[in-house]
Amino acid sequence: MTQIKKSLPYIIAVVGAFIAAGIFIAAIQYNPFEAYKTLITTSFRTPNGFIQTLMKWVPLTLTALAFTVPLSSGKYNIGAEGQFLAGAIGATTVGILLADLPPALLIPLVIIAGIITGALWGLISAWLLYQFNINEILSTVLLNFISFQLVDYVATGPWRDPSAGAPTTIAIGQNGYLPMLIKNPPLSIGVILMILVAIGIYFYTNKTTSGYELVATGANPRAAKVHGIDTRKMFLLSMVIGAAAAGLAGAMEVSGVQHRLIEGIHSNFATLGLIIGLISRGKNQAVPFVAFFIAVLEVGASAMQRTMMIPSQVVLIVEALIVIFILLSDLIKRRQK
Amino acid sequence: MEQTTILQMHEVNKTFDKVKALDNVEFELKSNEILGLLGGNGAGKTTLMNVLYGLYKMDSGSIILNGKPITIPSPKDAIAHGIGMVHQHFLQINNYTVLDNIILGTSVSRPWTADRKKEKAAIEELCKRFGLEIDLDAYIETLPLGVRQKVEILKALYRGVNILILDEPTTNLIPQEVDALFETLKIMVKEGLSIVFITHKLREVLHICDRISVLREGKNVVSLTRKDATDEMLVRAMVGEGMDLQKSVIFSESSKRVVTTKKETVLQLENVSLVNADKINVLSDISFEIGAGEILGVAGVAGNGQRDLAEVVMGIQTATSGTIKFLNEDITHSSTKENISRGFVYIPEDRLADGFLHKASVAYNLILGYHNLPPYSNKGIVNWKNVNAASREMIKKFTIKTTGPDDAGGNLSGGNIQRVMIARAFSQSSKLMVAHNPTRGLDIPSMDFVYKNIFEHAETGMATLLLSEDLDELLLISNRIAVMYRGKIVGILPREKFDKYAIGRMMSGYDQESK
Amino acid sequence: MTGIETFLVEFLKLTFLSMVPFVLAGQGTMLGGRTGVFNVAQEGIMLTGASVGFLVGYTSGSVFVGAIAAMLVGGLFGLILAYFTTTLKMDQFVVGLALFFVGTGLSTLLPKLVLGITLTPPLIPTLKNIPVPLLSKIPVLGPILFNQNVLVYISVLLSILLWYLLFKTNLGLRLRSVGENPKAADSLGISVNRYRYLTTIIGGMLIGLAGAYLPMVYTGTFTELMTKGRGWIVIALTFFGGWSPLIILLGSIFFAGIEVLSYRMQVGGSVVPFQFLNMLPYIGTIIIMIFTFGKSRVPAFLGQNYDRERRTL
């Protein structure tokens, strides 16, 4: 019963956001009920819809964790975009250069390359913070913009696929494709990997000594430091772990979905990841569930734009409103004490 | 002098987070008097005056000034009614000059230019009238605390207050400066002001105050004139019947610390110096030893390197030169983690900021610093079963009011947060305790509890480095007192030679300056 | 004039033209920061300002009206930021990030709603230069400094005015005290809330205007995400500028210079692939931050909310 009581403010927040957004949708001359019906049910109407939802769920969970893990130590990683792309570049590079290796070798190499390059991209910001005390919000965002240029360079360079319209590389070696759980509609084992990662991160933050230090650092860095915890190391570690998660998402998008590096492959994953992280209020264990919900909304949003001509940005507004309402409900809880 | 009542507060009530800070309190201030508002920490004295000064809103009650009921919704209104306040933590802008700090918030003759000549002249007049000497163009951050206090007083005088509230004004003053302050207060009373003197120090109140009003746990206890007051009466009023004064460390003559210095040297510092990032010598050539079971007090005005000394011993900062030895082992470059595993305990000065994790659970707080040691952790995995069991024990032993180990830290009241930190500090068998102002903010029974715990641990051989800005505390429980001034140890006195004024001279660098 | 001279004059003229968004948004950020409010939503506010400024300018036929609309929208964002942080006391970063999302999404959504999905976006006439009589005839300096659009002049004058207000008047003394020590300011009767609201709203207006400058002067139209990270660079710029109006002005000129340089090098043909030239402004920002972050003098209570009744031991 208390579990329901605890979740009540959040449920009210979500409903409130939907109502507010519904008013907005009506104001721009569309039918909110039709819109919501499409938004929420598309994922469950067809097997294709459900598989699409699962495939979106994977990168969304990982980019959200990329935000929440550093947040546990008190740092704001806004660079999941760049770290995702760095991971995608790393995976593509290995996938193209070593295309002749057998799958048993190539697949792990591709994935690990993505994790490492994503982690390295995050390490730049983490190191700037560690060494020069540079605010990580700024450095991660600036690195995002740099990564866009890098992707453009790779996608229009020697590996360019001339037959494609937008800047895209040639495909990575077939041996590098992630194995599929289901062939049609396509669902890769990325889902299983992601779930393992989420569980691993949960175990790390809640059960290990290092995880304790991470949480303590985020709760009060000064007190943590004075009691022996190397807080600067914790900031760095948390950012690298988050960046690695984003890099993994990028690698899986290349290896399991697109099989090549496309400009714009990062889609809106990072932005949504941030939103999911905020809605989860930084709790790693809530992230997969919230991410699934957002994945449902996103799949519904594309359908909504296709069939009803409602711009898909509307769903972004719904999601932003949910964040705001949840933060407000936090406030109300605080006042009640 | 004929005295009339100029201010009354009736039936004042104020609750903070379910704690009743003020319970139907009555207050009366007469003209041309110094009224002492006496009580331990948490008694409600500062809360009551913050209500009067418009910083807090009372839940119910009334304020009557010169016979007329008034409301004070904000400090601006308090000032308009002629009520000024000098807080314990000065409310000053560090990178502004003295002049700018004084005139801030007032209307000036030429607001759209930088010309403040008129205001400067007016303030210089005030300085002469009240005997306060200050360089108006100096930047606050360069001034010592005693001078900064004068700035706070000038702020109130500049605004023409008739009533001045001083909250624990002698906390950061050496004995000589305390005397100077009392002289200033007497001048102010002669010039027509009334003073409210908030303090927890008995002796001061008997020295300077005309009347004394005692608060305890948010309630009035007694109000009397200085003539009618005795030490014993006031002590009883402050602590109530619950405390056994005979067994207390603070009040009982018989349980004064017995000097037993064992042979073993626990901590040894040799020529320790620390240069900070701005290339300033915050510690210079510090040398001393502490034996097992000994309490070495460190006296000094705040800001003379005490915090840096504590952090260097604990390993939070590393000495630039010199050696630190623990039981003959060189620990100069040890990390805090290593020192804690050696049996060091640190009670930091600002316990809310440096000692508590508001956003984590009570259990997290109780094991902070020891989290990586058995039985709490094994090979990098936390044993939550052990943590929770130990937490429950500590909650019981130190009477921490909480729903359990999983309660959020932020849910605890201020007093219970202190108990958590006391529990954490005294639940380990420690070899060395570094305590910085350990009893600041504690009520009298809790202060006594801390002293008792220190003595208990000292009996098992724990050495204590006690850094305190409360000279009375140091005189009470230290075996020896070292005095710090500008990062140097300027003298170490054994208990037989304790002398308040001599220590005060050393604290102000008197002996250094005259060399 | 020799070839190099022509190049330099052109380069500097373009730099002064390009500094405006940095100056306006930088001063807007600085104002709020001086009272302790750390706005991180600039990118979103600038985008909405650009979007609204363009759409209103187009539908009303007047660029001026569009600019006013952009300022109003920016001010609205400022108001929301002030309300959530100062009155509701929510974390400033989180609120700023939320507003950044809303602003970004809104800026993309509005053109779709107003114009529908179109392949050829309409154009508005861009701002014309206004030569200052006499001064614009001075060789070299004339064209660079005195033959620019009105917002360039306004940016410079604004910076000087803000410097004077903040450091030479009683109003400035009070305003700065709110960011240095809100409790002290409050105890002296200075309304922390009022100053925070004021600076955040005016700051938002300046940031909105900065965004509108892009369609108004550069391209004549709105394109998605056209700010390209300038909003974030502004935050670094304000730190680099020590939260001081005049240094922010100088810093803006510097950043604009890097921007123009990388563009120039691309157009001029260079051996370096153009993507890496595009990275220059961002890399430059990071390098500047390395040198200034430890040393910058920041308002002591920047980013912290103030609650009068909060008890600290």
In this prediction, residue A336 carries a pLDDT of: 61
* Rounded Cα distance, C305 and A284, in Å: 27
Q: Which two tokens stand for residue B410?
A: 């932020």
Tell me which chain B residue has its CA closest to the CA of residue A231: B316
User: For chain C, what is the largest distance between any 2 Cα atoms, rounded to a whole number of angstroms?
Assistant: 70
* Rounded Cα distance, C227 and C282, in Å: 13
Angle at the Cα of B466 from the Cα atoms of B463 and B468, rounded to 5 degrees: 175
Q: Are residues B295 and B403 in the same domain?
A: no
A317 within 8 A of C105, measured Cβ to Cβ: yes
Q: Is A57 helix (H, G, I), strand (E, B) or coil?
A: helix
Q: Are residues B298 and B411 in the same domain?
A: no
Q: Provide the CA A22 distance to its chain's centre, in angstroms.
A: 26
In this prediction, residue B258 carries a pLDDT of: 56
Q: Are residues B87 and B138 in the same domain?
A: yes
Number of helices (H), then strands (E), in chain B: 18, 22
Confidence at B515, pLDDT banded by 50, 70, 90: very low
The verdict on residue B448 lying in a domain is yes
In this prediction, residue C48 carries a pLDDT of: 96
- Across the interface, whether the CB atoms of C181 and B91 are under 8 A apart is answered yes
Considering chain A, what percentage of its residues have pLDDT values greater than 70? 97
- Residue B380 has its nearest CB partner, among A210, A219, A223, at A210
Whether B163 shows a pLDDT value over 90: the answer reads: yes
Domain interval for residue B275: 265-343+432-513
pTM: 0.87
Q: Are residues B112 and B231 in the same domain?
A: yes
Select from B375, B402, B428 the last residue of a domain.
B428
The verdict on residue B248 lying in a domain is no
* Torsions phi, psi for B166 (to 5 deg): -120, 120
- Identify which of A72-76, A104-108, B138-142, C29-33 has the greatest average pLDDT: C29-33
Residue C184 CB contacts under 8 Å (≥ 6 apart), including other chains? B91, B92, B93, B104, C177
A86 within 8 A of A121, measured Cβ to Cβ: yes
Q: Which two tokens stand for residue B94?
A: 């560090």
Confidence at B261, pLDDT banded by 50, 70, 90: low
> In this predicted model, what pLDDT tens digit does every residue of B6-25 receive, in sequence order?
999 999 999 987 788 899 99
Q: Are residues B224 and B99 in the same domain?
A: yes
Chain A residue numbers touching C294 (CB-CB < 8 A)? 132-133
- Residue A219 has its nearest CB partner, among B336, B360, B384, at B360
Beta strands (DSSP E) in B99-236 are: 163-167, 194-199, 211-216, 219-225
Whether C267 shows a pLDDT value over 80: the answer reads: no
Residue C157: how many other CB atoms lie within 10 Å: 10
Tell me whether residue B343 is exposed, middle or buried, using C-beta atoms within 10 angstroms of its C-beta: 0 to 12, 13 to 18, 19 or more: middle
Give the mean model confidence (pLDDT) for residues B246-268.
Answer: 70
- Across the interface, whether the CB atoms of B111 and C308 are under 8 A apart is answered no
Tokens 């010039």 belong to B191
Q: Which two tokens stand for residue A174?
A: 């077939």
Confidence at A335, pLDDT banded by 50, 70, 90: low
Chain B residue numbers touching C173 (CB-CB < 8 A)? 96, 100, 103-104
Tokens 């991180």 belong to C40
What's the whole-number average pLDDT of chain B?
89
Give the mean model confidence (pLDDT) for residues B315-339.
Answer: 93
C 146-175 residues with CB < 8 A to B:
167-171, 173-174
- Residue C186 has its nearest CB partner, among B75, B85, B352, at B75
The verdict on residue B175 lying in a domain is yes
Angle at the Cα of C274 from the Cα atoms of C273 and C277, rounded to 5 degrees: 105
Domains and CATH numbers, chain A: 1-30+310-337 (no CATH), 47-308 (1.10.3470)
Chain A: nearest CA to B157, how far in angstroms? 38
In this prediction, residue B511 carries a pLDDT of: 62
Whether C310 shows a pLDDT value over 80: the answer reads: no
Q: Between chain A and chain B, how many beta carbons pairs sit less than 8 Å apart?
A: 79
Q: Which two tokens stand for residue A140?
A: 């991660």
Confidence at A57, pLDDT banded by 50, 70, 90: very high
Residue A114 CB contacts under 8 Å (≥ 6 apart), including other chains? A87, A88, A90, A91, A247, A248, A250, A251, A252, A254, A255
Q: Are residues B164 and B68 in the same domain?
A: yes
CATH at residue B15: 3.40.50.300
Residue A104 CB contacts under 8 Å (≥ 6 apart), including other chains? none
Q: Are residues B384 and B476 in the same domain?
A: no
In this prediction, residue C313 carries a pLDDT of: 30
Chain C residue numbers touching B55 (CB-CB < 8 A)? 186-187, 308-309
* Nearest Cα to Cα of residue B370 among A228, A222, A225: A228
Residue A51: how many other CB atoms lie within 10 Å: 19
> In this predicted model, what pLDDT tens digit does every residue of B171-228 receive, in sequence order?
888 888 888 899 999 999 999 999 999 998 888 899 999 999 999 988 998 899 988 8
In this prediction, residue C309 carries a pLDDT of: 65
In this prediction, residue B259 carries a pLDDT of: 56
Q: Are residues B269 and B323 in the same domain?
A: yes
Select from B405, B428, B451 the last residue of a domain.
B428
- Residue B104 has its nearest CB partner, among C177, C183, C312, at C177
Beta strands (DSSP E) in B338-406 are: 344-347, 377-378, 381-382
Chain C: nearest CA to B438, how far in angstroms? 13
Whether C162 shows a pLDDT value over 90: the answer reads: yes
- Across the interface, whether the CB atoms of B87 and C187 are under 8 A apart is answered yes
- Across the interface, whether the CB atoms of B353 and A222 are under 8 A apart is answered yes
Q: Which two tokens stand for residue A96?
A: 């193209």
Q: Are residues B370 and B479 in the same domain?
A: no
Tokens 């996103």 belong to A298
* Rounded Cα distance, B404 and B361, in Å: 9
* Nearest Cα to Cα of residue B92 among C185, C297, C301: C185
Give the mean model confidence (pLDDT) for residues B62-75.
Answer: 92
Q: Are residues B57 and B135 in the same domain?
A: yes
DSSP A62-92: HHHHHHHHHHHTT-----HHHHHHHHHHHHH
Number of helices (H), then strands (E), in chain C: 12, 2
- Across the interface, whether the CB atoms of B340 and A228 are under 8 A apart is answered yes
Tell me whether residue B208 is exposed, middle or buried, using C-beta atoms within 10 angstroms of its C-beta: 0 to 12, 13 to 18, 19 or more: buried
Half-sphere exposure of B449 (CA within 13 A, CB side): 16
What's the whole-number average pLDDT of chain C?
88
- Across the interface, whether the CB atoms of C279 and A316 are under 8 A apart is answered no
Considering chain C, what percentage of its residues have pLDDT values greater than 90? 49
Q: Are residues B407 and B288 in the same domain?
A: no
B325 within 8 A of B296, measured Cβ to Cβ: no
Chain B residue numbers touching A231 (CB-CB < 8 A)? none
DSSP character at residue A253: I
Q: Does B19 touch chain C (CB under 8 A)?
A: no
- Across the interface, whether the CB atoms of B381 and A213 are under 8 A apart is answered no
- Across the interface, whether the CB atoms of A227 and B346 are under 8 A apart is answered yes
Give the mean model confidence (pLDDT) for residues C191-200.
Answer: 95
Tokens 């296709």 belong to A306
- Beta strand pairing call for B60-65 and B194-199: unpaired
Number of helices (H), then strands (E), in chain A: 13, 2
Whether C198 shows a pLDDT value over 90: the answer reads: yes
What's the whole-number average pLDDT of chain A?
87
Helix axes of C274-292 and C230-240: crossing angle, nearest 10 degrees = 30
Tell me whether residue A109 is exposed, middle or buried, using C-beta atoms within 10 angstroms of its C-beta: 0 to 12, 13 to 18, 19 or more: middle
Chain B residue numbers touching C171 (CB-CB < 8 A)? 111-112
Chain B residue numbers touching C302 (CB-CB < 8 A)? none
Angle at the Cα of B267 from the Cα atoms of B266 and B270, rounded to 5 degrees: 140
* Rounded Cα distance, C203 and C82, in Å: 11
Confidence at A324, pLDDT banded by 50, 70, 90: confident
Whether B72 shows a pLDDT value over 90: the answer reads: yes
> In this predicted model, what pLDDT tens digit does every residue of B352-386 receive, in sequence order?
888 899 889 999 999 999 998 888 988 889 999 99
* Torsions phi, psi for B481 (to 5 deg): -125, 125
- Identify which has the larger pLDDT, C34 or A4: C34
Give the mean model confidence (pLDDT) for residues B129-142.
Answer: 90
The verdict on residue B246 lying in a domain is no
Number of separate domains in chain B:
3
Amino acid identity of C32?
G
- Across the interface, whether the CB atoms of B356 and A223 are under 8 A apart is answered yes
Considering chain B, what percentage of its residues have pLDDT values greater than 70? 97
The verdict on residue B279 lying in a domain is yes
Beta strands (DSSP E) in chain C are: 129-131, 147-149
- Residue B372 has its nearest CB partner, among A209, A219, A223, at A209
* Rounded Cα distance, B400 and B363, in Å: 12
Tokens 């500049």 belong to B158
To which H or E segment does residue B488 belong? strand B488-494
* Torsions phi, psi for B378 (to 5 deg): -140, 120
Chain B: nearest CA to C176, how far in angstroms? 9
Confidence at A194, pLDDT banded by 50, 70, 90: very high
> In this predicted model, what pLDDT tens digit does every residue of B398-419 receive, in sequence order?
888 888 898 888 888 878 888 8
Amino acid identity of B192?
G
Chain A interface test: which of C293, C295, C309, C310 (most A C-beta within 10 Å): C293
Whether A4 shows a pLDDT value over 70: the answer reads: no
Strand partners, B361: B408
Question: Given its phi and psi angles, is residue B380 left (phi above 0), alpha (psi -120 to 50 degrees) or beta?
Answer: left
Q: Are residues B147 and B62 in the same domain?
A: yes
Residue A156: how many other CB atoms lie within 10 Å: 17
* Rounded Cα distance, B414 and B352, in Å: 9
The verdict on residue B204 lying in a domain is yes
To which H or E segment does residue A182 belong? strand A180-182
Whether C312 shows a pLDDT value over 50: the answer reads: no
In this prediction, residue B433 carries a pLDDT of: 95
To which H or E segment does residue B443 belong? none
Give the mean model confidence (pLDDT) for residues A45-70.
Answer: 91
- Identify which has the larger pLDDT, B261 or C49: C49
Beta strands (DSSP E) in B110-264 are: 163-167, 194-199, 211-216, 219-225
* Rounded Cα distance, C242 and C244, in Å: 5
Considering chain B, what percentage of its residues have pLDDT values greater than 90? 56
Chain A: nearest CA to B439, how far in angstroms? 18
Chain C residue numbers touching B95 (CB-CB < 8 A)? 180, 297
C41 within 8 A of C200, measured Cβ to Cβ: no
Tell me whether residue B411 is exposed, middle or buried, using C-beta atoms within 10 angstroms of its C-beta: 0 to 12, 13 to 18, 19 or more: middle
- Across the interface, whether the CB atoms of B96 and C180 are under 8 A apart is answered yes
Q: Is B322 helix (H, G, I), strand (E, B) or coil?
A: strand
Whether B272 shows a pLDDT value over 90: the answer reads: yes
Chain B: nearest CA to C170, how far in angstroms? 5
User: b/e map of C262-288 (b: 16 or more CB within 10 Å)?
Assistant: bbebbeeeeeeebbbbbbbbbbbbbeb
